[in-house]
Amino acid sequence: AQKVTQAQTEISVVEKEDVTLDCVYETRDTTYYLFWYKQPPSGELVFLIRRNSFDEQNEISGRYSWNFQKSTSSFNFTITASQVVDSAVYFCALSERWGAQKLVFGQGTRLTINP
């Protein structure tokens, strides 16, 4: 069965610090997809990125970067030079190829960036 674990329940850093959010997943499928979503205090869920299991290249988008490592079943998310607007709950999620598009979410990590 698929499972996603975000062991960090809460993280608090000072603005401009770099911060990494951890995500570890379990799946028996050889083809699967990993996602990160952001939930700001206003409550909506915002899609950030999708990664395919067969593509282990890391990705960078501005201050955001993602490190996918199949060997450790991890898909970590790093924010460089954090800003107060990055404060949110971040969710990692997994869908299996044959899972009828069922997204399984981790517990979420609440990130607080202090000025």
Partner 1 sequence: DTAVSQTPKYLVTQMGNDKSIKCEQNLGHDTMYWYKQDSKKFLKIMFSYNNKELIINETVPNRFSPKSPDKAHLNLHINSLELGDSAVYFCASSQSRDSNQPQHFGDGTRLSIL
Q: Which residues bind partner 1 (CB under 8 A)?
A: 32-33, 35, 37, 39, 42-47, 50, 52, 89, 91, 95-105, 107-108, 110
Dist CA 69 CA 56 (whole Å):
7
**Nearest-5° Cα angle at 67, 104 to 65:** 100
Q: Is the dihedral of CA 14, 15, 16, 17 positive or negative?
A: positive
Of 12 and 47, which has the nearer Cβ to partner 1? 47
Closest approach of partner 1 to the CB of residue 65, in Å: 18
* Both structure tokens of 24: 């570890």
Closest approach of partner 1 to the CB of residue 77, in Å: 15
Of 70 and 102, which has the nearer Cβ to partner 1? 102
